[in-house]
Amino acid sequence: MNALSYYPSIRYILCLFIVFAGLNISQLQAQQKDDDNIELYNSEETYEYQYSSKQRQVTVSELIEKTYICNSFRSTIPYGETYNNQEEIKDIRIIVDGKNARSIKPTCDYMNINSYFYTDARMCYFDLPFVQKGSMSKVIIEKEIKDPRYLSTAYFTDNYPARVKKITVIVPRWMEADIHPYNFEGQNITVKKQYDSKKDADIYTYTANNMPAMKKNPMSPGASWLWPHIMICSKAANNDGNKSEYFATTADLYKWYHSLTQQLNSDTAVLDERAKKITEGITDKWEQLKAVFYWVEDNIRYIAFEDGIAGFKPDEAHEVMRKKYGDCKGMANLTKALLQRCGFDARLCWIGTNHIMYDYSIPSLCVDNHMICAVNYKGKWWYLDATEGYMQPGVYAERIQGRQVMIENGDKFLLEHIPVTKPEQNSRLFKEELRVDGNNMTGKILYKYDGESKTDLLNNIHSLKKDRLQTALENYITNSNMHYKISNMQTSSLDQRDGNLEVNFDLVYQDAVSSFGQEMYIDIDYNKEFNNAIIDTVKRRVDLRFSSKDNFITETDLIMPAGYKAATLPENLHIVNPKFTFDVTYAVKDNKICYRKKLTIINTYLQKSDFLEWNKAIASLSKKYLEQITLVKQ
């Protein structure tokens, strides 16, 4: 999942980033005023299980009431409410300063991705006005959730700060449901349970006071890690003998998932033909596996969209192949189907990326947000995620490392964990031999990329047109700094997955040397990773997550000019933290100054309590970057 997870109403979308007519989802948050001009005066959400005797099924009535107040200056904010084939918006009322605003007409439309409308996700949206300071606008929305399975999470935070947020869950005695609280620690949230004899129902009321806005921060963990919310799990119903089973156990969750995949009916003849063509001339089974995986990565465009049954049913494998695009479910299904045509034991997998905090210990549709393929090859599970471009088998993206994965196994299922790798998987080695040439430094440079550092580079440069590949690679390496002049670049294949990626080139580092009298001052490091990467602890109120376990290695040998020697070298720097290490050393060997640097992110999750130590380390590293090597004439 992505930025959409910040929006509690969007609970059911797998692998999705969407735009609806004229308004990007992120705009709903981006237009929020930092000065909190608009505030939620009062917000209430009520969920009530109901039984339809006519349809003989359980539904959930959802009532949303939000009252906004303008604290300072006139404004207008966008408001959007999502729904899909499993939800229906029954009514929307808009009240501005106590009067029904009938002139405001909500627009309801399908969501789309880059003009693709193949989705059942929809949104009703409109602009909510505030004519002056003190103006209050209220939105009342009545919705119906047709299947209790789709009732999952409710958050106490919103895009705007809330004075009072109340969540009420009404559970009749004929309904069995669990409510799980998350991130309540340190929050002003009260819980009240009472019995309503007229409804013969237990009423759970959660009231939160003075909740901050759910403001978006870059490099943030998903909303479930950060914000207080409840997870509502519908287990079973028994209304006058009319029984329904939902998700009482993880086995129930898998049974439902499996029932959706059993509805698939792939065109095996078309898949057979493609599998044979992909593996033509390849006799080694492992090489066949890689060929299929790489073909899907290269030929199927990943477009995150939801389609059918609120985004949980994969698209047919042959249809994904025909259209040449698909979401994670469709790409996983195609990978599985092609591998099976080659004789592999390939299976679909459900997984929650590290964007969400849950695992399968609680059966709910919100515990996973992604689908991949697993292959049992020579007694070992290999997990293939074709949405990760230029990824090789056995190299796993940080977002799925260590995550619990549900593997289809006929009528049963398997629970495994994706292997956790060390930062060394993602090493980026920068090796150079430099010489002084006037005010510049020149030299031969070697870059080696492994793991996610390699896939990041390849995905970045291949996102542009082929005729711009060389320029894109130069800009990536130099970070578009005009002082770094690259020439005679040679690379290993820019389409490869196996092994590391090597880039060799000649470098002219302009203005890296300053001369005053008998002395030279040299700036030996032009990469300066994490330079000034201080976390603003005043503005940033949430934890931080790096995208990968970085491992930056620099090995620089500077050949001193004839007649010069090292006068002073900066002191070495050694910082060891359980989540990161910084190591910088300087040494003189014969006529060379040997500069070595290793910066490692061991744990990608930095909690707010880690920020102080991180900032101290960054301050020391940035100061080290400012210290120059001094050479003096002998």
Tokens of 214: 């759910």
Domain boundary among 224, 245, 266: 245
Element containing residue 28 per DSSP (H, E): helix 27-30
Q: Tell me the sheet residues that pair with 208.
A: 165, 189
d(CA 298, CA 293): 9
187: Cα within 13 Å, side-chain hemisphere: 24
- Together in a domain, 410 and 331: yes
Work out the average pLDDT over 560-568.
91
Tell me which amino acid residue 413 is. F
Average pLDDT over residues 64-69: 97
pLDDT tens-digit series, residues 432-476: 999 999 999 999 999 999 999 999 988 888 877 666 777 888 888
With vertex at residue 286, the alpha carbon angle to CA 285 and CA 290, rounded to the nearest 5 degrees, is 115
- The answer to whether position 563 is within a domain reads yes
Helix (H, G, I), strand (E, B) or coil at 497: coil
Residue 3 has pLDDT above 60, yes or no: no
pLDDT at 465: 64
Q: Are both 525 and 574 inside the same structural domain?
A: yes
Scanning the structure block, which residue is given the tokens 């996700």? 121
- 192-217 mean pLDDT: 94
Q: How confident is the model at residue 24 (pLDDT cuts 50, 70, 90)?
A: very low
pLDDT at 367 over 90: yes
Please state, rounded to an integer, the average pLDDT across all residues of the chain: 89
Q: Are residues 358 and 399 in the same domain?
A: yes
Q: Is the pLDDT reported for residue 295 higher than 70?
A: yes
Closest CA to 378 of 390, 362, 363, 394: 394
In a domain, 6, yes or no: no
How many Å separate Cα 357 from the centre of its chain?
A: 12
Burial class (CB in 10 A: 0-12, 13-18, 19+), 391: buried
Does 4 fall in a domain?
A: no
CATH number at residue 68: 2.60.40.3140
474-527: pLDDT as tens digits: 888 887 778 888 899 999 988 888 889 999 999 998 988 999 889 999 999 988
Give Cα 166 distance to the centre of its chain.
Answer: 29
Residue 207 confidence class, pLDDT cut points 50, 70, 90: very high
Residue after which a domain boundary falls, among 374, 397, 417: 417
Tell me which range, 22-26, 113-117, 288-292, is most confidently predicted by mean pLDDT. 288-292
What's the average model confidence in pLDDT over 59-68? 97
| Average pLDDT value for residue range 273-294 | 97
Res. 112 pLDDT band, cuts 50 70 90: low
Residue 13 inside a domain? The answer is: no
- DSSP H/E element including 455: helix 451-462
pLDDT at 11 over 60: no
In angstroms, rounded to a whole number, what is the distance separating the alpha carbons of residues 379 and 377?
5
* pLDDT confidence of residue 284: 97
Whether 505 and 524 share a structural domain = yes
Same domain, 613 and 489: yes
- In a shared domain, residues 464 and 323: no
**Shared-domain flag, residues 224 and 269:** no
Least confident of 288-302, 459-473, 570-584: 459-473
Better pLDDT: 389 or 374: 374
Query: Does 111 reside within a domain?
Result: yes
Provide the domain limits for residue 54.
Answer: 18-245
Whole-angstrom Cα distance, residue 337 to residue 229? 38
- Determine, yes or no, domain membership for 297: yes
Q: What is the tens place of the pLDDT at every residue in 397-445?
A: 999 999 999 999 999 999 999 999 999 999 999 999 999 999 999 999 9
Give me the pLDDT at residue 384, please. 98
| Residue 236 shares a structural domain with residue 266 | no
555-569: average pLDDT:
93
* Structural domain ending residue among the three candidates 393, 417, 441: 417
Q: So what's the pLDDT on residue 113?
A: 52
- 2: in domain: no
Say if residue 343 is in the same domain as residue 203: no
What does the pLDDT read at residue 119?
Answer: 59
Q: Is 54 exposed, middle or buried (0-12, 13-18, 19+ CB in 10 A)?
A: exposed
We report the CATH number of the domain holding residue 318 as 3.10.620.30
Q: Which residues pair with 258 in a beta bridge?
A: none
Average of pLDDT values for 45-54?
92
Q: 269 with 204, same domain?
A: no
User: In the chain, pLDDT over 70 holds for what percent of residues?
Assistant: 91
Show the tokens assigned to 439: 């005010």
The answer to whether residues 589 and 614 belong to one domain is yes
Is the pLDDT higher at 592 or at 118?
A: 592
Residues 146 and 26 in one domain: yes
Measure the CA–CA gap between 477 and 529, rounded to whole angstroms: 12
Q: What's the total number of domains in the chain?
A: 3
* 590 falls within a domain: yes
pLDDT of residue 54: 80
pLDDT at 117: 47
CATH of residue 434: 2.60.120.1130
